[in-house]
C-alpha cells in the first residue's frame, strides 16, 4: 500500500529536500543577483534602467523596426521609461506563435500629490501623498522612507531625484502617535487608524528667512531642492515622485534562505523572467520577456498591459515576416508571472491549507485568481496546464499548484485576463510571498530560482534543446 499511496497521492514537498549541490549553488547565485535587482530597481523607472543595462551586457540591442531580424537576434524596446520588452527571435515563423513571460514592475507605494509641500503647525514641513495600489496604510508609518522619481521642467529637461537610498543620504518618514496618547487610535479598526490624508511625509524642520513671515520651513525645503536640482514649487505639477522604503533588500533568517525587501510583488517574477531570457539562446519559437507597469491599479494607461504597446511591438515583428498579428497571437502561449500568497501560519484562518502556496516549495502554478466566484479570473485551459506540467517536470522544476486563500476571504488579479483576451493561452505562475504589499515582503531564494527555471523550460518547450544553466 505504501507504493500505491506514493503513486496516487499528490504531496508537495519542501524544495530543499529535493535539490542537489549544483542547484544549491544556483540558488545562492540567483539570490545575490536578485537582491541587486531589487536594490537597483526600486521604482519601475529604475527597474527599466537596470534591466536595459543587464540586457545590453547580455548582447541585446535596441529594436529598430526597419532592421531585419534573424533567428537568435536579441532586441529590447522601452515604453516611456516605465515598461520594457526583451525578445529573442526564434527559428520558427511567427505564424506558429510566440512564448511570452509577462510580469509587472510597479509596486504599492506613496506618490506625491501635485502640490505636495505643506508646513504644519509646529513648523514641520511635510509632503502630501496619495497612495498607489493596495496598501495597509499603518504599515507605512515610523519607517525610513526615500524619495525617487523625475521632475519635468518647463524648458523640457527632466531631472532625476533620488534621496534616501544612497549611503549617507538623509531619509524621510511618516510619524505615528505614541501609545501613551493612542487610546482613541487603538480603538479604531486597522483600516481607520491611519487615514490616507495623514500619510504625510516629514521632510524638514529648520526655518529660513524673517521670523515674522509664514511658511519658513517650507521655504527652506524649497531652497534646498532648488539648490540641489534647480526645481521650483510649480515643477511638482509635472513630476512623478514616489515615496518608497529606504532600506535595501537583505537576507532573512539565520540560514539566509529568504530575501526581505520592498517591491517583491512583482519584481521577484520580473527578475525570474529576466534571468531566464538573458541566458536563452536560439529558441525554436520567439521568446518575449515583458515587464509592464500599472498592474497594481488595473494595468491601465499607456504603459500598462491594457495599452496597445505590446500589440504594436508584436505586430511590427509579424509584418516583417508577413504574418497576420491575429494568427501569431492565436498560436501564442503566455506565463503571467505574478506572485502568490504564501501560507502564513500566524494567519492560518485566511488560507485553505490543501490549496495554498508554501515558501520553499518552488514555483506556484495558479489556474485561476480573481475573487470569490472566480470574478475577473482567466481560469486557464486544462490542456495548456498539462503541457506545462510535462515541460516543468522534464526540466526538473520544483513547483506546486495553489490558489489565493479561502474562497470567500477576498481575492486579487493579475495581467492574465488581459493576455487571454488577446486569444493567447495564459496561466499564472510565480513566487510565493509572505507579507505581500507591505514595505518589507519576504520570498524564498529557492522559489525565485525555480520560477526562473520554469520560465526557461517554457521558452524551450517543443524541441528546443538548449542546456540548463545555473
User: Among the three residues 220, 245, 270, which one is the final residue of a domain in this structure?
Assistant: 245
Kindly state whether residue 298 falls inside one of the protein's structural domains: yes
Q: In this structure, are residues 288 and 87 in contact, taking their beta carbons and an 8 Å threshold?
A: yes
Specify burial of residue 316 (Cβ count, 10 A radius: 0-12, 13-18, 19+).
Answer: middle
Tens-level pLDDT at each residue, the chain (470 residues): 888 888 888 889 999 999 999 999 999 999 999 999 999 999 999 999 999 999 999 999 999 998 899 999 999 999 999 999 999 999 999 999 999 999 999 999 999 999 999 998 889 999 999 999 999 999 999 999 999 999 999 999 999 999 999 999 999 999 999 999 999 999 999 999 999 999 999 999 999 988 888 999 999 999 999 999 999 999 999 999 999 999 999 999 999 999 999 999 999 999 999 999 999 999 999 999 999 999 999 999 999 999 999 999 999 999 999 999 999 999 999 999 999 999 999 999 999 999 999 999 999 999 998 778 888 888 999 999 999 999 999 999 999 999 988 888 877 889 999 999 999 999 999 999 999 999 999 999 999 999 999 999 999 986 444 444 44
Nearest-angstrom CA–CA distance, 291 and 309:
12
Kindly state whether residue 255 falls inside one of the protein's structural domains: no
Q: Which of 258, 228, 263 is nearest to 242 (CA)?
A: 263
Domain span at residue 173 reads 109-245
Return the CATH number at 42: 3.40.630.10
Whether 273 and 387 map to the same domain: the answer is: yes
Whether 89 and 115 map to the same domain: the answer is: no
Nearest-angstrom CA–CA distance, 102 and 427:
11
Nearest-angstrom CA–CA distance, 252 and 255:
8
Q: Which of 315, 340, 372, 282 is nearest to 92 (CA)?
A: 282
Specify burial of residue 201 (Cβ count, 10 A radius: 0-12, 13-18, 19+).
Answer: buried
Nearest-angstrom CA–CA distance, 396 and 37:
25
Kindly state whether residue 250 falls inside one of the protein's structural domains: no
* pLDDT for 13: 93
Q: In this structure, are residues 115 and 128 in contact, taking their beta carbons and an 8 Å threshold?
A: yes
Whether 211 and 296 map to the same domain: the answer is: no
Return the CATH number at 179: 2.30.250.10
Count of domains observed in the chain: 2
User: Among the three residues 181, 215, 245, which one is the final residue of a domain in this structure?
Assistant: 245
Nearest-angstrom CA–CA distance, 386 and 154:
55
User: Among the three residues 245, 276, 305, which one is the final residue of a domain in this structure?
Assistant: 245
* pLDDT for 325: 97
Kindly state whether residue 469 falls inside one of the protein's structural domains: no
Kindly state whether residue 253 falls inside one of the protein's structural domains: no
DSSP code, position 172: B
Whether 268 and 326 map to the same domain: the answer is: yes
Whether 159 and 78 map to the same domain: the answer is: no
DSSP code, position 322: T
Q: At what angle do helices 264-278 and 44-57 cross, to 10 degrees?
A: 10
Whether 47 and 152 map to the same domain: the answer is: no
Kindly state whether residue 449 falls inside one of the protein's structural domains: yes
Whether 14 and 121 map to the same domain: the answer is: no
* pLDDT for 59: 97
Kindly state whether residue 364 falls inside one of the protein's structural domains: yes
CA torsion sign for 346, 109, 246, 204 is negative
Whether 233 and 274 map to the same domain: the answer is: no
Q: Is the peptide bond before 138 cis (omega within 30 degrees of 0)?
A: no
Q: Which residue's entry shows cell 531652497?
A: 223
Whether 71 and 167 map to the same domain: the answer is: no
Whether 145 and 81 map to the same domain: the answer is: no
Whether 293 and 434 map to the same domain: the answer is: yes
Nearest-angstrom CA–CA distance, 261 and 163:
18
Kindly state whether residue 254 falls inside one of the protein's structural domains: no
Distance of CA 326 to the CA centre of its chain: 28
* pLDDT for 395: 96
Whether 49 and 91 map to the same domain: the answer is: yes
CA atoms within 13 A on the CB side of 331: 15
* pLDDT for 470: 42
Amino acid at each position: 500500500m505504501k507504493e500505491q499511496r506514493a503513486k496516487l497521492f499528490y504531496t508537495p514537498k519542501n524544495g530543499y529536500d529535493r535539490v542537489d549541490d549544483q542547484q544549491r549553488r544556483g540558488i545562492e547565485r540567483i539570490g545575490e543577483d536578485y537582491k541587486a535587482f531589487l536594490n537597483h530597481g526600486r521604482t519601475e523607472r529604475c527597474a527599466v534602467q537596470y534591466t536595459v543595462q543587464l540586457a545590453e551586457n547580455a548582447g541585446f540591442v535596441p529594436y529598430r523596426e526597419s532592421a531585419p531580424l534573424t533567428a537568435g537576434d536579441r532586441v529590447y524596446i522601452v515604453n516611456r521609461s516605465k515598461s520594457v520588452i526583451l525578445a529573442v527571435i526564434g527559428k520558427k515563423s511567427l505564424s506558429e506563435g510566440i512564448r511570452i513571460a509577462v510580469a509587472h514592475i510597479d509596486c504599492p507605494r506613496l506618490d506625491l500629490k501635485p502640490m505636495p509641500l505643506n508646513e504644519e503647525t509646529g513648523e514641520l514641513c511635510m509632503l502630501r501623498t496619495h497612495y498607489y495600489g493596495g496598501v495597509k496604510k499603518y504599515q507605512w508609518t515610523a519607517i525610513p522612507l526615500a524619495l525617487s522619481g523625475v521632475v519635468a521642467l518647463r524648458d523640457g529637461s527632466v531631472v532625476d531625484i533620488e534621496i534616501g537610498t544612497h549611503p549617507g543620504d538623509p531619509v524621510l518618514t511618516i510619524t505615528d502617535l505614541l501609545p501613551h496618547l493612542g487610546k482613541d487610535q487603538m480603538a479604531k479598526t486597522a483600516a481607520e487608524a491611519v487615514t490616507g490624508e495623514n500619510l504625510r511625509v516629514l521632510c524638514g524642520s529648520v526655518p529660513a528667512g524673517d521670523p515674522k513671515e509664514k511658511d519658513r520651513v517650507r521655504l527652506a525645503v524649497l531652497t534646498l531642492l532648488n539648490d540641489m536640482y534647480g526645481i521650483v514649487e510649480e515643477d511638482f505639477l509635472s513630476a512623478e515622485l514616489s515615496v518608497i522604503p529606504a532600506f535595501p533588500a537583505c537576507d532573512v533568517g539565520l540560514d539566509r534562505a529568504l530575501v526581505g525587501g520592498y517591491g517583491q510583488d512583482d519584481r521577484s517574477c520580473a527578475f525570474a523572467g529576466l534571468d531566464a531570457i538573458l541566458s536563452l539562446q536560439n529558441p525554436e519559437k520567439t521568446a518575449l520577456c515583458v515587464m509592464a507597469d500599472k498592474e497594481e491599479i488595473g494595468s491601465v494607461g499607456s504603459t500598462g498591459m491594457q495599452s496597445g504597446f505590446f500589440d504594436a511591438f508584436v505586430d511590427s515583428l509579424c509584418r516583417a515576416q508577413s504574418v497576420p498579428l491575429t494568427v501569431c497571437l492565436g498560436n501564442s502561449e503566455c506565463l503571467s508571472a505574478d506572485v502568490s500568497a504564501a501560507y502564513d501560519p500566524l494567519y492560518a484562518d485566511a488560507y485553505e491549507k490543501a490549496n495554498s502556496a508554501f515558501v520553499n516549495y518552488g514555483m506556484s502554478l495558479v489556474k485561476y485568481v480573481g475573487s470569490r466566484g472566480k470574478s475577473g479570473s482567466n481560469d486557464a485551459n486544462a490542456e495548456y496546464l498539462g503541457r506545462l506540467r510535462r515541460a516543468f517536470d522534464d526540466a526538473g522544476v520544483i513547483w506546486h499548484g495553489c490558489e489565493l486563500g479561502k474562497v470567500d476571504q477576498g481575492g486579487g488579479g493579475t495581467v492574465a485576463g488581459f493576455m487571454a483576451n488577446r486569444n493567447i493561452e495564459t496561466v499564472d505562475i510565480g513566487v510565493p510571498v509572505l507579507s505581500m504589499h507591505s514595505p518589507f515582503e519576504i520570498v524564498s531564494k529557492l522559489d525565485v530560482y525555480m520560477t526562473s527555471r520554469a520560465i526557461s523550460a517554457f521558452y524551450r518547450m517543443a524541441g528546443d534543446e538548449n542546456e540548463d544553466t545555473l
